[in-house]
Amino acid sequence: MSSPASPAAAPEAPDRTPGRERRYDIDLLRVLCTAAVVLVHASAEFIDAGHRTTGILGDTAGRFAVPVFFAMAGWAALSGAPVGDESRLLSRLGRILRPMAVWTALYLLCAYLAGETGVGAEAASALFGSVEAAFHLWYLYAYVPLLLLLGVLVLVVRRRALPLKALALLVALAVAPALAGDVREVTGWAPPDWGWSVPLSTVVYAVAGAALLAAPRLGPRALWAAGAAVAFAALAVYQLTVRHPAAYGGVAVAAVTFAVLGTVAGVRVPERVRPLVARLSDASFGTYLVHLLWVRLLVGPVAGRLPDGPWAPAALAVTAVAAAAASFAVSVWWGRPAWRKWLG
């Protein structure tokens, strides 16, 4: 069954490329990772409320999501749907930045209406990096430079093009941190921390993930699944005894990430559920953008009122599922193209 491709690999509005077969395994990964992000932030509410073990175990179950998003981004940019020209690359950036700006403003407005202080300063800081009111958007401050870097590489190496605007933007992002330091030295004004940057581990996830997702089947799926189970157990022990949250560039998280990729990559999604998986995949970016509101509305109050006891894991599971379902539902609801352009 052929249909347009679904190359968007981060939780962003899909970029359809006619003539490509749709990768339903990538759609499935996007849905799983989006739900896992909701679980991570729901788990944080339980940790803040004093349910540390439950929260850390929930966080462990979803910690693969962000690295897998970066891996899928690499596949999309380098293999699944590489850009054909600079205008296409800039258009992809716009589809991320518009909803990002809208939701940053909405979260800041919610913070202002809730009586929080310093909202004006946070609004200015949002130009430099993620802010507390919309802290989950930090991911996009790394994803946008990654998408730009990979897109420029594709245009220069594969298309033999000279994307002047994209190159100028890439250079501006690269020199901005040093420039901010110079401004601080000369004027004494301390700009907010610069968040538009790509750690080396993120680039590695993107390139290695692209290779793994584009490769033929590598070994038995059951072996990858067994490896994933061992990696999740190791990560749980690490987070409970050594460090929480585990760094995304750490060995334990990397092991979970690649084990999940190897388990799900190439899996055959039954035809009867493909339309649902595709629809949820298309709604993933909007789900990612809106879910923090539902986590605060549905998960936070329950975690804060829950007494100590063995029912905390069940409460986390129920509230996280409720928050994810509500987030997907509203994102599907505003799925018209004109709305999706601004809301994700």
> How many angstroms separate the CA atoms of 21 and 187, rounded?
55
Asked, as a colleague might, if the bond just before 199 is cis with ω within 30 of 0, I would say: no
> How many angstroms separate the CA atoms of 150 and 152, rounded?
5
Per the CB < 8 A criterion, the answer to whether 39 and 55 are in contact is: no
21 token code pair? 């077969």
Per the CB < 8 A criterion, the answer to whether 202 and 10 are in contact is: no
Q: Quote the distance between the C-alpha of residue 85 and its chain's center.
A: 25
Contacts for 263-270: CB closer than 8 Å, 24+ residues apart: 263/221, 263/224, 263/225, 263/228, 264/25, 264/28, 264/29, 264/32, 265/25, 265/29, 265/212, 265/213, 266/25, 266/217, 267/25, 267/28, 267/221, 268/24, 268/25, 269/24, 269/25, 269/27, 269/28
Per the CB < 8 A criterion, the answer to whether 43 and 282 are in contact is: no
pLDDT tens, residue order, the chain (344 aa): 333 343 344 555 444 455 578 999 999 999 999 999 999 999 999 999 999 999 999 999 999 999 999 999 999 999 999 999 999 999 999 999 999 999 999 999 999 999 888 899 999 999 999 889 999 999 999 999 999 999 999 999 988 889 999 999 999 999 999 998 898 889 988 888 899 999 999 999 999 999 999 998 888 999 999 999 999 999 999 999 999 999 999 999 999 999 999 999 999 999 999 999 999 999 999 999 999 999 999 999 999 999 877 899 999 999 999 999 999 999 999 988 889 999 99
311 token code pair? 């029912």
Residue 235: predicted pLDDT: 98
pTM over 0.85: yes
Residue 4: predicted pLDDT: 36
Residue 5: predicted pLDDT: 40
Residue 54: predicted pLDDT: 96
**One-letter-per-residue 3-state SS of 107-152:** HHHHHHHCCCCCHHHHHHHCCCCCCHHHHHHHHHHHHHHHHHHHHH
Residue indicated by tokens 């020209």 = 85
Distances (CA, A) of 13 to 98, 289, 343: 11, 11, 10
Residue 257: predicted pLDDT: 98
Q: What is the dihedral sign for C-alpha 309, 313, 317, 320?
A: positive
Distances (CA, A) of 317 to 59, 287, 322: 12, 18, 9
Distances (CA, A) of 199 to 88, 248, 325: 25, 10, 32
Residue indicated by tokens 């739900």 = 35
Residue 211: predicted pLDDT: 95
